[in-house]
Amino acid sequence: MTDFFDLVQQRRSIRKFTEQPVEPEKVEKIMQAALMAPSGKRINPWKFILVTDKEMLLKLSDIRPHGSQLIAGAPLAVVVMADTTLTDVWIEDASIAASYIQLEAENLGLGSCWVQVRNRENADGRSADAHLHELLNIPEKYAVLNIVAIGHKTENKFPHDTAALQYDKISNEQYTMAEGESRSEEKQTATPMAQTVEDAPSHPHNGKILTGALLILFGLLFLLKRAHLLSPDVADIVFSLKSYLIYAGLTFIALHKFGKRNMRNGTLIAATGLFLYCIDFADWIWITFNIWNYWPLLLVITGALIVFFAIKNGKDK
């Protein structure tokens, strides 16, 4: 049996799939897991529609202006809905079943992605739920929660970093205030169309993104300096930022008690500042001895690659 913690740690939202169909025996296992999901009073209000037809998958991918296009490239889509006349907790029941679908898909080596339907609209301002009712001939008493796109992965993303988890979300015995939080703050209610996790995947590699961006910036500045497009005075001011990077990084490290991610990002920022000091010294050597004059281009390319892969690997719910 797969270790549950490892399964949860490995599960990441996958938005690109191979053309290989999902094997029938795997589909059966996935749906068995969904049907075993707990529900209030064991009412089991959920209902599932399995879609594999390419034309219909293409239509499903158009139910929202953003966030649903990935369905067109998936060999299987599971539409998750529930009978709203049976229970007032249909959202909770359907959400648990949808989560079971994603976990079993991961357990079978497949990738999946949650595409939100409830409280979403298509490009014409019509509700995505109403659009699906028409496309799939769904009875009025059912409300659609989401669509789970499933398929064979085109890549294996890095597992969740336990050091970067938001441990400040956990309180013992009584509620404890998070950093910068105030009890006097008014309760904020999200609007139905507010951007949610699946619409704007978080990037747990923000430190890497910042590091790459800084390398790009300083690489371009070195090029401007070489081309004499940057005055010596301005160059001195700009390149003195290296010291501030180190100070900022050390500050992040000092504040690591508020979250392990601060420790990691602070280390990256401080290391970037030290690296740029070394680069500045190397630049002086290369200019003095007339060695390769276009090496800053390599700095720009390296930074761009760091940013690209950090963003690519950081997309997740």
Among 54-63, 119-128, 196-205, 267-276, name the one with the lowest average pLDDT. Answer: 196-205
CB-CB contact of 88 with 175 (8 Å): no
What CATH number labels 4-152? 3.40.109.10
Predicted local distance difference test score (pLDDT) of residue 290: 54
Q: Residue 225 pLDDT more than 70?
A: no
What's the average model confidence in pLDDT over 4-19? Answer: 96
Q: In what order do the strands lie in the sheet with 46-51?
A: 46-51, 76-83, 142-152, 110-116
Structure confidence at residue 199 as a pLDDT band (50, 70, 90): very low
> What is the pTM for the complete model shown?
0.63
Closest Cα to residue 152, out of 5, 7, 55, 23?
A: 23
CB within 8 Å of 304: residues ≥ 6 apart = 212, 216
Surface-to-core class of residue 215, CB atoms within 10 Å of its CB (0-12 exposed, 13-18 middle, 19+ buried)? buried
The confidence score (pLDDT) of residue 242 equals 55
Q: Tell me how far apart the alpha carbons of residues 237 and 240 are, in angstroms, rounded to a whole number.
A: 5
The structure tokens listed for 312 are 């690519």
pLDDT of the residue at 264: 61
194 against 189, higher pLDDT = 189
CA distance 35 to 44: 8
pLDDT computed for residue 259 by the predictor: 47
Q: Can you give the pLDDT at residue 235? A: 62
Q: Using the predicted structure, report yes or no on whether residue 21 has a pLDDT greater than 60.
A: yes
In the predicted model, what is the mean pLDDT of the chain? 81
Q: What is the mean pLDDT of residues 8-23?
A: 97
pLDDT of 200 above 50 = no
Mean pLDDT of 37-53: 98
Examine the pLDDT at 286 and tell me if it is beyond 50.
yes
Handedness of CA 17, 21, 23, 28 (dihedral sign): positive
Quick: pLDDT tens for 167-179. 999 999 999 887 7
Q: Residue 260: its pLDDT value, please?
A: 46
Q: CA–CA distance from 179 to each of 105, 185, 202 (Å)?
A: 37, 13, 20
Q: Say what angle helices 241-254 and 232-239 make with each other, to 10 degrees.
A: 10
Which of 223, 221, 213 lies closest to 245 in space, CA to CA?
Answer: 213
- Tens-place pLDDT, residues 226-242: 666 666 666 666 566 65
Q: Enumerate the CATH 3.40.109.10 domain ranges in the chain, comma separated.
A: 4-152
pLDDT, tens digit, 9 for 90 and up, residues 287-300: 555 554 555 666 67
Least confident of 13-17, 58-62, 123-127, 228-232: 228-232
